Amino acid sequence: MARKPMMAGNWKMNNTVGEAVVLTQEISNQYEKEWPESVEIVICPPYVDLKPAKTVLDFDKTKIAVGAQNVYWESKGAYTGEISVPMIKEIGCACSIVGHSERRELFGETNEDVNRKVKALVEGGLYAIVCVGESLAVRDEGTTDEYVTAQVRAAFAGVDASDAAGCVVAYEPIWAIGTGRTATPEQAEAVCAAIRATLAELFGGEAAEEMRVLYGGSMNPGNVEGLLAQPNIDGGLIGGASLKCESFVQLIEACL
């Protein structure tokens, strides 16, 4: 079974509620009812924008899913500042990004934290978009595949194949995020193929063939075609280019 590509927009800490409603409405206005046959679309706004964005999409009956950018593994309690899986689930989120390199670098998120978050999401019936990726130092050392596949193993430790099969892995080389410097299609494909081989080792070939592996890192309408042409790249996790309706829609249309 061919994997359906995914375009997921990571808005990061951008857009107030008012701005989020405008951008979601702009995307919804461009929505074509043929899209869902060919591409799965997700937007991941900041927490405060999740409900307003979901309301716009539900009102328009637009088949674009909403996801969080992060989630905590406990379901409730004295965890000031955190947001749980049941909370994002009630809003109607389908998923959450976990382990984004900005969270790992700026907020000290560890592989163990990522694993707890993946488990909490799948136990709650949501899926995880698990971000992995190497720094420039790791790439220069020549240990990218080992580094990235170790992140994949750690993220999915103790997760069974049926839960993992619904999850998505996003390969995001840190040196390509927000820098305008994209991995070449060949560089991205090599790591995405190594990720899929690791998923096959962990969960068997069938689950690994079902799981989507995305590329993220300065993906834009100018470079998307070459990246999507690679056999192990099933779409994109998009930062900057997801903040403008026009470029995000162009990326969606590249999947059709």
> Known catalytic residues?
100, 172
Q: Is 118 in the site for ligand PEP (CB under 6 A)?
A: no
Q: Is 10 in the site for ligand PEP (CB under 6 A)?
A: yes
Q: Which of 108, 100, 165, 103 is nearest to 132 (CA)?
A: 100
Smaller CB separation from ligand PEP, 13 or 78: 13
* Part of the chain binding ligand PEP (CB under 6 A), chosen from 26-34, 108-116, 170-178, 193-201: 170-178
Smaller CB separation from ligand PEP, 19 or 209: 19
* Part of the chain binding ligand PEP (CB under 6 A), chosen from 64-72, 74-82, 200-208, 236-244: 236-244
* Part of the chain binding ligand PEP (CB under 6 A), chosen from 17-25, 115-123, 197-205, 212-220: 212-220
Q: HSE-up of 216 (CA within 13 Å, CB side)?
A: 33
Smaller CB separation from ligand PEP, 207 or 224: 224
CB 217 within 8 A of CB 148: no
Residue ranges of E strands in the chain: 6-10, 40-44, 65-68, 95-98, 127-132, 168-171, 212-215, 235-238
The dihedrals phi and psi of 113, each to the nearest 5 degrees, come to -60, -45
Cβ count within 10 A of residue 253: 16
Cβ count within 10 A of residue 80: 4
Output DSSP code: residue 113: H
Q: Which residue has the CB atom at the shortest distance from ligand PEP?
A: 239
Smaller CB separation from ligand PEP, 195 or 207: 195
CB 247 within 8 A of CB 217: no
Selected from 177, 183, 202, 255, the binder of ligand PEP by CB under 6 A is 177
**What does the binding site for ligand PEP look like in residue numbers (CB under 6 A)?**
10, 172, 177-178, 216-219, 237-241
